[in-house]
Amino acid sequence: MMITMAKMKKEAPITGITALKEEDFSTWYTELISKCELADIRYNIKGFVCYLPWATITIKKMYKKYEDLLEKNHHLPLIMPSLIPESNFHLEAEHVEGFAPEVFWVTEAGSSGPLSERLALRPTSETALYKMYAYWIRSYNDLPFKRYQSCQVWRYEGKMTRPFFRGREFHWIEAHNCFATEEDAKNQVIEDMQMTHEMLEEEFCIPIIFFQRPEWDKFSGAVHTYAADALMGSGKVLQLPSTHLLGQNFSKPFDVKFIDANGKEQYCYQTCYGPAISRIYGGMIAYLGDDKGLILPFDLAPIQVVIIPILVKGKEEIVLGKCKNLLDQLSTKYKVKLDDSDGSPGSKFYFWEMKGVPIRIEIGPKDIEKDQFVIVKRHDGKKLFVKQGDLNKKINEIAQNYTTEIKKKSLLDFEEQIEICHEIDSAKDAIENGKIVACGFCSIDMKGYHCAEVIEKDVGGLVRGKKVDEEKHEFASCIVCGEPSSCTVYIAKSY
């Protein structure tokens, strides 16, 4: 399809990104956000930002991919009200305790003054949905009951906000499922983790590790929380989707029951899963970007191919004619832009590299003479000279391999970031050097809480949990207390 990006504001970011990602991740990311026009932080409520078109287009594509996968896995979409009565929250004690400090409350409406009950802007929808699940689920025939919604949630974050990474309003998908048995629920958690790998690693090129979170860091009200951490260039991890085994913790207070095959009433086993698309977008651009700007998976780029005419006096017409033909031809399959605006070819190269357009085609009079096009790939800067007759084939080939190439590069980088440590001091050094530490640990149940506090204080990182897919366990003792180690945990700084 031909793309018609009405007047992308190419003028504003005359200068590109100046900070180096390796040296100053934070400034680099801030420049990326503002110069690529991804978000505007000048909105006049703290912690709330505007998502600009270049980011929004990609986020919508990410939503589409995730929703398609959820539906393939038998989830049906629904749309819930975004307000939740305060009384719903109080039904599950741990949940309300966990979320109370983060809730925005609606207390007044119109000219009618105070409402009779405070209404929460949903920080998550368990307490809205499960009250309805009690109506919707009747018998074992209704199970498994799998639903999702794409929506925003609001959390009054105390931590520092940063566009896409952490904000007081963010955009996610939440899937909420009910099962007849605990085993079915556990299998759903496994499916959730598989979906996470399929989306984050395969589609969005973000390498992740799935951790079972320690008892003190799980979702309020869950039996267990399994969360994916991604490592950013900065040496800190970013929590990406998490899935929660809720057991019957919610089904009992919310009365989510079914009649089993023997006519007996039972409480459902539940799970919930919350991929935060806006945060995954932040993680993706932070992880894949380089000093020139954005790098995007091919499917997710708002513009996939940019055509840049090299105009020489007297040859403008022939060059532009060629460019327009090419635009028509490629637009049947890709999102293509012909940049025939004023400005030098060099500044256009620079601009569209910063925006992360995967393929650039340059066409000048010399190329036309030689019956060739110049193609440049954004992610590795490789330049190819392609005969006119081979162009379609070559573009298709690049399009097909582009995301895989990014993935290979990014997956390699990741393994290097883990450092095995046996002592607090070496762990501290590793964390200071921007690594993730793997070490022995006494327990991720509450009895390990004290050791985790020591790690936070003395090592400078957080215990992220134990790896879900780790079979062997290498460490004899806990890195803190020296007691027998029950598992390998990973320590990292986090956003």
Which residues ranging from 70 to 99 are in contact with a copy of itself (CB under 8 A)?
A: 71-72, 74-83, 85, 87-88
Which residue in 25, 28, 29, 51 binds a copy of itself (CB under 8 A)? Answer: 51
Hey, what are 104's tokens?
Answer: 């925005």
Tell which residue, 356, 191, 207, 171, has the closest CA to residue 281: 171
**CA-wise closest residue to 169 among 277, 269, 268, 319:** 277
Residue from 17, 32, 36, 59 touching a copy of itself (CB under 8 A): that is 59
Interface with a copy of itself (CB under 8 A), residue total 73
Beta-sheet strand order (sheet of 305-309): 336-338, 305-309, 359-363, 372-377, 383-387
Q: In whole angstroms, what is the distance from residue 136 CA to residue 157 CA?
A: 33
Q: Is 263 in the site for a copy of itself (CB under 8 A)?
A: no
Residues numbered 122-161 forming contacts with a copy of itself, rule: CB under 8 A: 128, 131-132, 135-136, 138-139, 141-147, 152, 154, 156, 158
Q: Which of 22, 40, 328, 413 binds a copy of itself (CB under 8 A)?
A: 40
Closer residue to a copy of itself (CB): 60 or 408: 60
Q: Measured from the CB of residue 75, what is the shortest distance to a copy of itself in angstroms?
A: 7
* Footprint on residues 156-175 left by a copy of itself (CB under 8 A): 156, 158, 169, 171
Helix (H) or strand (E) holding 187: helix 182-196
273 binds a copy of itself (CB under 8 A): no
Residue 100, Cβ density class (10 Å: 0-12 exposed, 13-18 middle, ≥19 buried): middle
User: What x-and-dash track marks residues 329-368 binding a copy of itself by CB under 8 A?
Assistant: ----------------------------------------
**Span interacting with a copy of itself, options 107-115, 188-196, 349-357, 392-400, rule CB under 8 A:** 107-115
Residues 402-421 that bind a copy of itself (CB under 8 A): none
Q: Is the N-terminal amide bond of 144 cis, ω within 30° of 0? A: yes
What minimum distance in Å lies between the beta carbon of 146 and a copy of itself?
A: 6
101, 381, 482, 484: residue in contact with a copy of itself (rule CB under 8 A): 101
CB of 374 to a copy of itself, least distance (A): 28
> Which parts of 296-335 interact with a copy of itself (CB under 8 A)?
none
Residue 189 parent element (H or E):
helix 182-196
- Give dist(CA 384, CA 132) in Å, integer: 58
Considering only the stretches 27-35, 110-118, 347-355, 487-495, report the one whose residues sit in contact with a copy of itself under the rule CB under 8 A.
110-118
Q: Which CB, 100 or 384, lies closer to a copy of itself?
A: 100
Burial class from Cβ neighbours inside 10 Å (0-12, 13-18, 19+) for residue 112 reads exposed
Q: Which residues of 319-358 are buried (b: 16+ CB within 10 A; e: fewer)?
A: beebbeebbeebbeebbbbbbbeeeeeeebbbbbbbbbbb
Question: C-beta of 140: minimal distance to a copy of itself in Å?
Answer: 10
Shortest Cβ 147–a copy of itself spacing (Å)? 7
Residue whose CB is less far from a copy of itself, 163 or 289: 163
DSSP characters for 18-70? -S-TTT-HHHHHHHHHHHTT-EETTSSSTT--EEPHHHHHHHHHHHHHHHHHH
Give the residue, chosen from 32, 103, 222, 238, that forms a contact with a copy of itself under the rule CB under 8 A: 103
By the 10 Å C-beta count (0-12 exposed, 13-18 middle, 19+ buried), 143 is classed as buried
- If one asks whether residue 7 binds a copy of itself (CB under 8 A), the answer comes out as yes
Nearer to a copy of itself, 11 or 390 (CB): 11
* Binding of residue 457 to a copy of itself (CB under 8 A): no
Q: Which is nearer to a copy of itself, 67 or 405 (CB)?
A: 67
* Among residues 27, 30, 53, 343, the one that binds a copy of itself under rule CB under 8 A: 53
Return all residues near 177 (Cβ < 8 A) that are at least 6 apart: 75, 144, 145, 146, 147, 185, 188, 270, 271, 272, 273
Token pair for residue 369?
């003479």
Give least dist CB 319 to a copy of itself, A.
23
487-229-437 Cα angle (round to 5): 50
